[in-house]
Chains A and B, each alone.
Chain A
Amino acid sequence: GAGVSQSPSNKVTEKGKDVELRCDPISGHTALYWYRQSLGQGLEFLIYFQGNSAPDKSGLPSDRFSAERTGGSVSTLTIQRTQQEDSAVYLCASSLAGGTWRGSNQPQHFGDGTRLSIL
């Protein structure tokens, strides 16, 4: 079956522009995560959606970052007024819900990522 799909795969933009990154999770997965990997760094958590619950935005690095998830499926991560330090690979993952524990006992399935380069 189809895995997690992210688009675009690569995005190059000028500093100060806004960008939108899209994630299409596996059908039936109610948990959705956004992460990023900056050059030479590990996996950095950004935001987490679980069903109809309020998202966990605790990882968003600044108010230039926002995300939404429409209809419990597709998610869009928006970065406004991009800065060079926003350059990274942005990864989306989805999982089944884990009962009352918000998906934490289910493996995450990752997309191929969006490589964002800010000039």
Chain B
Amino acid sequence: DAKTTQPPSMDCAEGRAANLPCNHSTISGNEYVYWYRQIHSQGPQYIIHGLKNNETNEMASLIITEDRKSSTLILPHATLRDTAVYYCIVRVASGTYKYIFGTGTRLKVLA
């Protein structure tokens, strides 16, 4: 699986958009980008995933660059409950390939 690089921490004001970047320059053509978040002392929670097109769901938007070497997770209106560690993972979608977690980004939403 490709390795990902994320900034260790970010702050965001409540109500503003949180933009979390991820670099995955060695991603393969059949690997998807998955985003999870982990709130303190809980298991990771799925947020969104994509291959090459931008994706949006009720939680977030995922913007993937045209060369697929990086992506950005956007939380459009961050709330205090979005304070968590956000992990970007790349892997193939089919089969049971293991997830390898990087260091993630610790997002702190400020009141």
Real complex partners, A and B?
Answer: no
